[in-house]
Structure 1
Amino acid sequence: MNKVPAQREYFLDSIRAWLMLLGIPFHISLIYSSHTWHVNSAEPSWWLTVFNDFIHSFRMQVFFVISGYFSYMLYLRYPMKKWWQVRVERVGIPMLTAIPLLTLPQFIMLQYVNGKAGVWSDLSRYDKYNTLAWELVSHLWFLLVLVVLTTLGLAMFRWIKQRQQASITAFFDNITLGKLTLVFLGLGVFYAAMRRTLFIFFPHTLSDGLFNFVVMQTLFYLPFFILGAQTFVNARLKTLFITPSPWSMAGALLGFIAYRVNQHFGSGDAWMYETEYVITMVLGLLMVNVVFSLGYRLLNFQSARVTYFVNASLFIYLVHHPLTLLYGAWIAPAIGSDTLGFITGLVFVIGSAVILYELHLRIPLLRFLFSGKPQPRHTEAHASASKPA
């Protein structure tokens, strides 16, 4: 076991929690956006559509950079097999717990909300399997991707560590944001070309739920995960991200404008999705600088209130999705204003999620199932719930 000095990264903990919690306004605004979802308002809201697109354009890219950062930090603290076991348990157990307790009831509810309950028996075996793959994984997809990335990390992190020990000059020692942007632009083009090739020759693979989560999503977020690990290793790279860059801010603004234009004028039958992946690959990188630099200055402190939400963020994220769908199906239609409905939805979902979080803290079995961590016999009522890194 390699022991690394434990230096608490308060700003990264906070950013990770807020990115997780941003899933709540993201999904509630999805109800009122022009995007088709499980439940939608009668009339879409322009500003909530833009707000929804803004969150969606960068949130998970930055999240996976932080995940790679903390994953490699823990990799240096444990023997390899122990590291893999700890990481997989802490993301896999909550995911497996949420399927029967959250996404399965959510799927059954949606069958009746959308009037599809009677159609189920007419589906082929593959269609039933594929529907369940999409609906049962649902908003848990990032946990599945983290399990895959952790497994790939067994080889990737060993390679990174060997390079450190051999004192080989790494590419990141002389990196600049401009060079990184070009690298991620190339990665985005490569990913888009790969997706287009599949679309032409094997189109059915792109509609397969498990293939989408395990292969396509993993490949897209893999560069961000590796970048996070390299950020932990390379002090220059970390300094690059926590130092404000006007060019990154300007580039991120232009990137989001391009994202919106593509969403508005693009067509799924053309190159809309491929263009989106190129844009979000670069935009995600630029937003790492924007988010890290702001977080380093505004969130790099210890606070009981912030710590509470850092600890609660995973649980709140897991339960917010079915709560949002409940709100969208039965409460939102009674509210005429989209803006008022959005605010009411935030109050309902966050309030309900916090109450459920407090209740689950008082049940040791649920604390274990939603954290993946063994619970001490004598835990205080407000024991912390683990977060995926």
Structure 2
Amino acid sequence: MAVGTSPRIVYLDGLRAFLMLFGIPYHAALAFSGQPWLVRSEQDSAFLWFLAEFLHVWRMPAFFVIAGFFSALILRRRGPGAWFRGRLRRLGIPLVTGVLLLWPAQWWAIGYSRMGSHEGAVSYMADAAWPPSSAWTIHLWFLVNLLLYSAVLALAASPWLRRYTGAVARVLVARFVARPGVCLTVFAATSVVLVTVGLAGWEHWHLRAVTNGLVARTVLLFAPAFLLGVLLGSRDGLLDRLARIPLRAVVPVAAAAVGAVLAARSWPTLGSGGTVLMEGVAWTVGGLGMTVLVLRVAPRLFPRPRAWVTWLVDASLPVYLIHMPLVLVSSLLLIRAGVDGVVGWLIVVSVTLVGSLAFYEVANRVPWARYAVNGSHKAGKSIHGHMKTRLASWTRN
């Protein structure tokens, strides 16, 4: 089935929404893993730490592949200027909303967890307020990355560069059509080299200090995934060919690379150089390999349009915006109440999911709030409206 047909778009939309929703169990697992994080439990949980790392290593590469795919797909229908203005609105407005409105609860929870008192929390909030830093974005770093990727893509598609970038893209597409497995291997190997060199340069020149954390090193880690998505979206049918790469060639490599990611986080004796090298290899190869596996499974999960999937698709960005303060505050309260480990994690995931979806339902009813959290005036799917329609249908029958 061609990528451009409706069922495939439905499946990709559904997958993208669930990848964003997985941020809830991921961040809740970090809070209760016992590892250093924004809010930290005193009780170590190897299971929750493993779960968090496992989710992250395939979730974000798969997300950026899909984001790149949709970017190229829409860019083919619109000019780069109009497309980028749309990206600024749909990504930039939720980013600004998140930075301006969500910081009090987040900073208070982080400060209280680290300082152990209300006074310490207030002191942390004052320190984080200025200058701009990673404390401003926290979980919204992916929006910063997407805006940067979109700016580069719009520039590459501009009339001044399209002649050259188009020629390169046509060669790459032709090679991929002929031998997708070989091309993916070459792409992954090349990406490993570039990402590893980039990470080494990032550490050597202390670029985190230069950007004060507003731009994270993840902008290098996930650039290959976004680029792969752009190439796949530049022509109909390429995503199908990627998903048909034999699993026997993908599974061992992906599994080994994911294991290397976990190992890189577990062995501090590797040193900074060894960790950078292992992360450059593992995140790139493991992420792209796991993405192929996800793309093989997802069509079976979202084979056709469903009302509840459409609802989650429309709700995914507002849910992601609001979920972090809910996770941080509820985790802090439970940890201080002595509710820890998997039990605390399950409670936080449940409370945050329900609360985030309720937040979307409220925001979706108010035009200005809808625009602030989604960057669009168009009303999304409402579960309340869907249930009313279903109830009316059952009543008539």
The TM-score range, normalised by the shorter chain, is 0.7 to 0.9
Instruction: Check whether the contact 2:175–2:183 (CA below 8 A) recurs between aligned residues.
Output: no
**What corresponds to 1:288 in structure 2?**
291
Task: Report deviation, 1:176.
Answer: 2.8
Task: Report deviation, 1:252.
Answer: 1.4
Task: Report deviation, 1:274.
Answer: 3.4
**What corresponds to 1:33 in structure 2?**
33
**What corresponds to 2:390 in structure 1?**
none
Instruction: Check whether the contact 2:105–2:329 (CA below 8 A) recurs between aligned residues.
Output: no
Where does 1:71-150 land on structure 2 (aligned, <5 Å)? 71-115=71-115, 116-117=120-121, 129=130, 132-150=132-150
**What amino acid does structure 1 have at the position aligned with 2:355?**
S
Instruction: Check whether the contact 1:20–1:317 (CA below 8 A) recurs between aligned residues.
Output: yes
Q: Separation in 1 of the partners of 2:30 and 2:268?
A: 19
**What corresponds to 1:154 in structure 2?**
154
Helix, strand or coil at the partner of 1:271: helix
Instruction: Check whether the contact 1:175–1:237 (CA below 8 A) recurs between aligned residues.
Output: no
**What amino acid does structure 2 have at the position aligned with 1:7?**
S
Structure 2: state its 5+ residue gaps. Answer: 387-397
Q: Give a deviation string over 1:178-215, Cα, whole Å, max 9, x none.
A: 44234323322332223224433x23x2345556626x
Where does 1:309-320 land on structure 2 (aligned, <5 Å)? 309-320=312-323
Q: Separation in 2 of the partners of 1:269 and 1:227?
A: 28
Q: CA separation of 1:144/1:70 partners in 2, compared to 1, >3 Å: closer, same or farther?
A: same
Task: Report deviation, 1:289.
Answer: 0.8
Range with bigger deviation, 171-180 or 7-16 = 171-180
Task: Report the identity percentage.
Answer: 25
The answer as to 2:174 corresponding to 1:170 is yes
Task: Report deviation, 1:141.
Answer: 0.8
Range with bigger deviation, 216-225 or 253-262 = 216-225
Among candidates 248, 253, 256, match of residue 246 of structure 1: 248
**What corresponds to 1:220 in structure 2?**
221
Instruction: Check whether the contact 1:133–1:210 (CA below 8 A) recurs between aligned residues.
Output: yes
**What corresponds to 1:333 in structure 2?**
336
Q: CA separation of 1:93/1:383 partners in 2, compared to 1, >3 Å: closer, same or farther?
A: farther
Instruction: Check whether the contact 1:240–1:289 (CA below 8 A) recurs between aligned residues.
Output: no
Instruction: Check whether the contact 1:140–1:318 (CA below 8 A) recurs between aligned residues.
Output: yes
The answer as to 2:11 corresponding to 1:7 is no
Q: Separation in 1 of the partners of 2:310 and 2:234?
A: 26
Task: Report deviation, 1:42.
Answer: 1.6
Give the TM-score, by structure 1 length: 0.85
Structure 1: state its 5+ residue gaps. Answer: 385-389
Instruction: Check whether the contact 2:173–2:231 (CA below 8 A) recurs between aligned residues.
Output: no
Helix, strand or coil at the partner of 1:170: helix
Give the RMSD, CA atoms, in angstroms: 3.1
**What corresponds to 2:392 in structure 1?**
none
Helix, strand or coil at the partner of 1:213: coil
**What corresponds to 1:232 in structure 2?**
233
Q: Separation in 1 of the partners of 2:256 and 2:169?
A: 40
Among candidates 269, 283, 303, match of residue 300 of structure 1: 303
Where does 1:186-197 land on structure 2 (aligned, <5 Å)? 186-197=190-201
Instruction: Check whether the contact 2:43–2:340 (CA below 8 A) recurs between aligned residues.
Output: no
Q: Separation in 2 of the partners of 1:120 and 1:165?
A: 48
Q: Separation in 2 of the partners of 1:153 and 1:383?
A: 38
Q: Separation in 2 of the partners of 1:360 and 1:69?
A: 28
Q: Separation in 1 of the partners of 2:156 and 2:188?
A: 18
Where does 1:333-372 land on structure 2 (aligned, <5 Å)? 333-372=336-375
Helix, strand or coil at the partner of 1:114: helix
**What amino acid does structure 2 have at the position aligned with 1:221?**
F
Q: Separation in 2 of the partners of 1:379 and 1:21?
A: 16
Q: Give a deviation string over 1:326-349, Cα, whole Å, max 9, x none.
A: 011112332445111111111111
Range with bigger deviation, 332-341 or 75-84 = 332-341
Helix, strand or coil at the partner of 1:351: helix
Count of matched residue positions in the alignment of Structure 1 and Structure 2: 373
Instruction: Check whether the contact 2:11–2:298 (CA below 8 A) recurs between aligned residues.
Output: yes
Q: Separation in 2 of the partners of 1:236 and 1:266?
A: 43
Helix, strand or coil at the partner of 2:133: helix
Q: CA separation of 1:297/1:37 partners in 2, compared to 1, >3 Å: closer, same or farther?
A: same
**What amino acid does structure 2 have at the position aligned with 1:213?**
V
Instruction: Check whether the contact 2:14–2:313 (CA below 8 A) recurs between aligned residues.
Output: yes
**What amino acid does structure 1 have at the position aligned with 2:97?**
T
Task: Report deviation, 1:317.
Answer: 0.8
Instruction: Check whether the contact 2:80–2:155 (CA below 8 A) recurs between aligned residues.
Output: no
Instruction: Check whether the contact 1:65–1:227 (CA below 8 A) recurs between aligned residues.
Output: yes
Instruction: Check whether the contact 1:98–1:318 (CA below 8 A) recurs between aligned residues.
Output: yes
